[in-house]
């Protein structure tokens, strides 16, 4: 069993100035709260956090991480409170312990291969401090090493999860020894027979292998000396899992896998890496397609090395990796290597392409003291994504800020359209709720629900957006078809034309074609929108239209188009995008005033004041909601009646107010009444209702003015 001394000694070996008092304190605390708990192995529970902390020293982590390793199970498995951890061991430690607990709490019960990457991303997205991942990986390594005490089912499921999620995470962190250890342990539990075969196969060849390794190392050392390159050459068996992958992918037996031995040449400079490569390729024949230059194109986790395979002595295939000491350190320690030294690691060139690690390095560059690095890595590895679960445990990826509506549309358009509510982690939430990582989302649908325009304000995915828009468009079309049908039927009746089943009328089909439309539906939609008048249609249904009538029709069409272009400005008809709009002559509504729209027969929508008398008897089905789209350029007419004392100069006063307020006077007339009152009428141009109100207010303030009214 690991002792406290092993941990502090390990820590001091790579960080001689480390303050180990916190480690001791954490040890005492962990021992206290875990007291009485026992591992399945029969050992005291404390053995687990001790082992984890020790692994963290092997990963060369900082003091805070090692302390967090000792405490990582206290909040989850004992009565210890996070607040207490924070008080005793500081905020960073508490944050790491909390992060590890959160990941442990999530049930990854999906077994689908394609889900693994999403789960890995989710873990990273949940992580604000990269050290959480380090502790979790160390925790998993020790749990894998003691997996034998579990039931076979549990062994298989934990090993599978480790292989799918944690081993690749270790790879992404660049800690290859940890990745290999996890993979080999997984293979042992998942494919025990194959594991044993590989073990046996390697044992049988051991004699030859050792001789072979010695020989190759001797040859390489010799060559290096001749070329004046100071190099260290190492040879080893590849790890079992990589041999297994080769067997699986190429359908081979263990004795058919030849390149089970890999060599590594470590040199001082980058230039020497390529020199060594040249020497090796001149000595042994390279295997085609096996050369990889991770120096000029490093992996996302900053791994750099040259890889090649050659046919060595005895016709034996062997893989050779060539790299500098710095690169070797990165390959061994991964991320940890980056905070310990700053120089010589990577060329300054294409740092930008290194994906998520770029952020880490940017941080590092700005730090004076590299030791601060790990302390400072509080970041979002996937700042633009959020990961949530389906009730079945499937992980789905969304853009940050995504809502239940996005989720519903991601399942199926129909689910999106009928999405009436959602439960997140078992609780009802509003449809505009924004997901947090790890949320379990359940969509509630209702046959009565349909997409709403305001959904567009909060959905984040393109799919949801385009489907909602499509639905609204279709809906509007349906409405306008119904409206158009209604209008046309009435017009036909008035014109005494037969009108049975107008949706299948051959003549109408011809008319539709005349308007370059594909179907009667389109024609009706256009009438509904007010783009085509019912009179235009009826005109064409009447036989034998003369040339002049045709010309007149064309003229009208052109005029209608011109009018539409001019008048539509400034007003928006709810639910309809492209509709002919004109302002009613009866009430002259102004921007800012409450208005309604009335769908006229063939002349689009007329805008009235909401209380216009004309509208009292109007067919309510043809009234549509409209709103103003104010624009600086537009002007509107208003007519004012001003009653005042009959006094000289009053007209000048009134018109100067209008001029000051930049209202154009189009027309003015003055009358004197029997009782010696002056009555003046002005027609002016104003920008909107507020503008007019201001003018009227100012005129009222003139002493002699009695009444100002709008007519
Ligand atoms: Mn643990």
Q: What would the pLDDT profile of 516-553 be if each residue is shown by its tens digit?
A: 888 888 888 888 877 788 888 888 876 555 566 666 66
Q: Ligand 1 centre from 94 Cα, in Å?
A: 15
Q: How much is the average pLDDT of 644-649? A: 80
* Active-site annotation holder among 6, 58, 76, 646: 76
Q: Ligand 1 centre from 327 Cα, in Å?
A: 31
Q: Is a pLDDT exceeding 80 seen at residue 3?
A: yes
Q: Ligand 1 centre from 73 Cα, in Å?
A: 5
pLDDT at 162: 92
Q: Ligand 1 centre from 71 Cα, in Å?
A: 9
Nearest in space to 652 (alpha carbons), one of 545, 43, 465, 660:
660
Q: Ligand 1 centre from 146 Cα, in Å?
A: 11
pLDDT at 562: 44
CA 567 to each of CA 197, 564, 571: distance values in angstroms, whole numbers, following the listed order = 84, 5, 8
Paired tokens of 105? 């709490």
Paired tokens of 584? 């009613």
Which helix (DSSP H) or strand (DSSP E) does residue 389 occupy? strand 385-389
Do strands 677-686 and 664-672 pair parallel, antiparallel, or not at all (unpaired)? antiparallel
* Position 686 confidence tier, pLDDT thresholds 50, 70, 90: confident
Q: Ligand 1 centre from 360 Cα, in Å?
A: 27
Task: Give burial (CB, 10 Å; 0-12/13-18/19+) of 135.
Answer: buried
Higher pLDDT among residues 505 and 162, named by residue: 162
pLDDT at 380: 43
76 is catalytic: yes
77 is catalytic: yes
- Quote the distance between the C-alpha of residue 107 and its chain's center: 23
Q: Ligand 1 centre from 176 Cα, in Å?
A: 21
Q: In whole angstroms, give the CA distance from residue 58 to residue 676.
A: 106
C-beta separation of 29 from 71 below 8 A: yes
pLDDT at 390: 85
**pTM of the predicted protein model:** 0.57
CB-based burial, 490-509: b 16+ in 10 Å, e otherwise? ebbeeeeeebeebeebeebb
* Active-site annotation holder among 77, 86, 479, 634: 77
Per cent of the chain over pLDDT 70 is 84
Q: In whole angstroms, give the CA distance from residue 180 to residue 159.
A: 13
Q: How much is the average pLDDT of 106-132? A: 70
- pLDDT tens-place string over residues 579-636: 667 788 888 888 778 888 887 766 677 888 888 888 877 766 677 778 877 555 567 7
* Position 373 confidence tier, pLDDT thresholds 50, 70, 90: very low
Q: Ligand 1 centre from 133 Cα, in Å?
A: 13
State the chain's mean pLDDT as an integer: 82
C-beta separation of 190 from 156 below 8 A: yes
* Position 307 confidence tier, pLDDT thresholds 50, 70, 90: very high
Task: Give burial (CB, 10 Å; 0-12/13-18/19+) of 445.
Answer: middle
Which range has the top average pLDDT, 66-75, 248-257, 306-315, 638-647? 66-75
Q: In whole angstroms, give the CA distance from residue 466 to residue 471.
A: 9
pLDDT at 455: 93
Nearest in space to 69 (alpha carbons), one of 20, 123, 134, 18:
134
Eight-class DSSP state of 239: P
């Amino acid at each position: 069993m690991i002792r406290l001394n092993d941990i502090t000694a390990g820590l001091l070996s790579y960080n001689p100035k480390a303050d180990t008092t916190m480690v001791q304190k954490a040890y005492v605390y962990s021992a206290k709260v875990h007291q009485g708990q026992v591992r399945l192995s029969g050992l005291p529970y404390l053995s687990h956090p001790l082992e984890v902390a020790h692994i963290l020293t092997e990963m060369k982590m900082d003091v805070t991480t090692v302390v967090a390793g000792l405490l990582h199970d206290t909040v989850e498995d004992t009565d210890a409170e996070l607040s207490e951890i924070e008080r005793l061991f500081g905020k960073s430690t508490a944050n790491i312990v909390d992060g590890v607990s959160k990941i442990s709490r999530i049930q990854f019960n999906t077994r689908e291969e394609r889900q693994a990457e999403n789960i890995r991303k989710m873990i990273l997205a949940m992580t604000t401090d990269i050290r959480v991942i380090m502790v979790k990986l160390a925790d998993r390594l020790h749990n894998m090493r003691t997996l034998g005490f579990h039931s076979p089912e549990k062994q298989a499921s934990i090993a599978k999860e480790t292989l799918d999620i944690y081993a690749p995470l270790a790879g992404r962190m660049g800690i290859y020894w940890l990745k290999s250890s996890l993979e080999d342990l997984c293979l042992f539990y998942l494919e025990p027979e194959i594991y044993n075969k590989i073990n046996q196969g390697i044992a049988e060849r051991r004699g030859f292998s050792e001789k072979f390794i010695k020989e190759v190392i001797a040859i390489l050392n010799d060559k290096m000396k001749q070329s004046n390159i100071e190099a260290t050459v190492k040879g080893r068996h590849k790890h079992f899992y990589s041999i297994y992958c080769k067997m699986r992918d190429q359908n081979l037996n263990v004795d058919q896998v030849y390149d089970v031995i890999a060599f590594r040449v470590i040199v001082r400079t980058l230039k020497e890496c390529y020199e060594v490569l040249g020497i090796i390729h001149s000595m042994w024949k390279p295997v085609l397609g096996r050369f990889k230059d991770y120096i000029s194109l490093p992996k996302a986790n900053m791994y750099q090395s040259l890889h090649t395979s050659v046919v060595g002595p005895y016709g034996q295939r062997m893989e050779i990796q060539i790299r500098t000491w710095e690169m070797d350190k990165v390959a061994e320690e991964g991320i940890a290597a980056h905070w310990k030294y700053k120089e010589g690691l990577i060329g300054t060139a294409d740092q930008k392409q290194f994906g998520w690690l770029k952020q880490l390095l940017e941080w590092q560059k700005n730090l004076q003291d590299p030791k601060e690095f790990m302390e400072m890595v509080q970041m979002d590895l996937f700042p633009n994504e959020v990961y949530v679960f389906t009730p079945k445990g499937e992980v789905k990826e969304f853009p940050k800020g995504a809502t239940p509506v996005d989720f519903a549309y991601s399942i199926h358009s129909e689910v999106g359209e009928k999405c009436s509510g959602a439960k997140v982690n078992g609780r009802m939430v509003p449809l505009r709720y924004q997901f947090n990582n790890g949320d379990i989302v359940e969509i509630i649908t209702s046959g009565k629900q349909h997409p709403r325009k305001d959904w567009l304000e909060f959905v984040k995915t393109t799919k949801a957006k385009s489907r909602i828009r499509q639905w609204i468009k279709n809906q509007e079309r349906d409405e306008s078809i119904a409206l158009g049908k209604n209008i046309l039927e009435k017009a036909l009746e008035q014109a005494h034309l037969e009108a049975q089943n107008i949706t299948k009328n051959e003549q109408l089909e011809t008319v539709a074609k005349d308007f370059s439309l594909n179907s009667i539906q389109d024609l009706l939609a256009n009438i509904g929108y007010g783009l085509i008048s019912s009179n235009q249609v009826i005109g064409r249904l009447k036989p034998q239209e003369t040339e002049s009538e045709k010309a007149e029709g064309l003229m009208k069409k052109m005029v209608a188009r011109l009018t539409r272009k001019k008048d539509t400005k400034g007003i928006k008809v709810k639910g309809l995008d492209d509709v002919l709009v004109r302002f009613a002559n009866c009430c002259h509504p102004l921007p800012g005033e409450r208005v309604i729209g009335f769908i006229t027969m063939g002349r689009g929508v007329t805008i009235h004041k909401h209380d216009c008398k004309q509208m009292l008897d109007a067919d309510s089905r043809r009234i549509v909601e409209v709103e103003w789209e104010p624009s600086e350029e537009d002007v509107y007419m208003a007519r004012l009646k001003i009653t005042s004392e009959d006094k000289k100069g009053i007209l000048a006063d009134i018109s100067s107010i209008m001029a000051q307020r930049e209202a154009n006077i189009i027309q003015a007339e003055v009358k004197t009444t029997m009782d010696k009152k002056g009555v003046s009428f002005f027609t002016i141009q104003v920008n909107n209702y507020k503008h007019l109100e201001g003018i009227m207010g100012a005129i009222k303030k003139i002493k002699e003015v009695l009444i100002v009214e709008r007519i």
